[in-house]
Amino acid sequence: MSGRVLVGVKRVIDYAVKIRVKPDRTGVVTDGVKHSMNPFCEIAVEEAVKLKEKKLVKEVVAVSCGPQQVQETIRTALAMGADRGIHVEVSGKDYETLGPLQVSKIFAALAKKEQADLIILGKQAIDDDCNQTGQMTAALLDWPQGTFASEVSFEADKLKVVREIDGGLETIKINLPAVVTADLRLNTPRYATLPNIMKAKKKKIANVKPADLGVDVCSRLEVLKVDEPPQRQAGVKVETVEDLVGKLKEAGRV
């Protein structure tokens, strides 16, 4: 067991930004818009760093796929306590069409190359809401998966994961190596402090190309158009119950 954990961190538009659709409806406006680490990825990094602090794992490696700017996101992970980073360079058209299938192929290849024991990812990204990368990565590696984790602990040589499901909480025990995806209540991520940001500048980020990992990032999907959600219509006040029923019938609701 190498004691190595890979953590995926995705650079997304900050959750507090008001999203605007591009006039040509091919996507959303990203120029000049604040970006930050996907909140679920922050939780994943926090969990990995906590495991290292408890001496249950030895090394935390933060991985991000994208253009030059994703290095900022990796640096944030390093400031939170990750030991080193890997920047998988994907830019231009390839980056615009980068999705869970290609990313999971990249992670699977990296997991083998780095001999990782554990991969922790956020359960989904707040821009595409796919919720697929963790599951696909586990399938490609033929590893067990503990998704929507709200609690992770080691029991002997297995991983105990408490999962948030519709009906409540499900507890499973899975063999290592494994893939875990972090849900909201797994932990509260720490803030990167200035001293730690300074220290993080000295940590190494390796550059890798998808081709070096034998991964083809060509997308099988084509985005046809992107639209804003329909505008909310104003409500109508009615005077009597009869009016209300009449209006409901008109709208085909009754």
Partner 1 sequence: MTLFMQALRFSSSRLPFICRRSRTYSTEAGAIERVISAFRSVSGDEGVSVGSAVREQHGRDESAHRCRPPDVVVFPRSVEEVSALAKICHHHQLPIIPFGTGTGLEGGVGALQGGVCFSLRKMDQVLDLHQEDFDVTVEPGVTHRGLNSYLRDTGLWFPVDPGADASLCGMAATSASGTNAVRYGTMRGNVLNLEVVLADGTVLHTAGKGRRPRKTSAGYNLTSLFVGSEGTLGIITKATLRLFGIPESMVSAVCSFPSVQSAVDSTVQILQAGVPIARIEFLDDVMINACNHFNKLSYAVTPTLFLEFHGSSKNMEEQVSITEEITRDNGGSEFAWAEDEETRGRLWKARHDAGYAALALRPGCKAYSTDVCVPISRLPQIIVETKEDLIRNNITGHVGDGNFHCLIVLDPNDPDEVARVHSFTERLVRRALAMDGTCTGEHGIGLGKRALLREEVGPLAISVMQGIKATLDPKNLMNPGKVL
- Cβ at position 75, least distance to partner 1 in Å: 9
d(CA 154, CA 143): 17
- Cβ at position 108, least distance to partner 1 in Å: 29
Inter-residue contact 40 to 8 (CB < 8 Å): no
Query: Binders of partner 1 among 73-112, rule CB under 8 A?
Result: 76, 79
The residue within the footprint of partner 1, chosen from 9, 44, 136, 192 (CB under 8 A), is 192
Identify which of residues 33 and 254 has a Cβ nearer to partner 1 in the complex: 33
Inter-residue contact 56 to 154 (CB < 8 Å): yes
E strands along 47-186, which residues? 59-66, 84-89, 118-122, 145-155, 158-165, 168-175, 178-182
- Cβ at position 59, least distance to partner 1 in Å: 22
Inter-residue contact 239 to 34 (CB < 8 Å): no
- Cβ at position 64, least distance to partner 1 in Å: 14
Among 137, 99, 82, 142, which Cα is nearest to 10's? 99
Stretch that binds partner 1, among 57-65, 93-101, 192-200, 225-233 (CB under 8 A): 192-200
Identify which of residues 19 and 223 has a Cβ nearer to partner 1 in the complex: 19
Identify any residues that bridge with 4 across adjacent strands, giving them in sequence order: 59
Identify which of residues 97 and 196 has a Cβ nearer to partner 1 in the complex: 196
Identify which of residues 33 and 244 has a Cβ nearer to partner 1 in the complex: 33
For residue 194, state whether it binds partner 1 (rule: CB under 8 A): yes
Identify any residues that bridge with 179 across adjacent strands, giving them in sequence order: 119, 145
Identify which of residues 124 and 187 has a Cβ nearer to partner 1 in the complex: 187
Inter-residue contact 75 to 86 (CB < 8 Å): no
Among 40, 43, 49, which Cα is nearest to 5's? 49
Backbone angles phi, psi at 80, to 5 degrees: -80, -15
Stretch that binds partner 1, among 61-69, 108-116, 189-197, 214-222 (CB under 8 A): 189-197
Q: Which helix (H) or strand (E) holds 108?
A: helix 100-114
- Cβ at position 145, least distance to partner 1 in Å: 26
Give the x-and-dash track for 20-39 against partner 1 (CB under 8 A): --------------x-xx--
Binding residues vs partner 1 (CB under 8 A): 14, 16, 34, 36-37, 72, 76, 79, 187-197
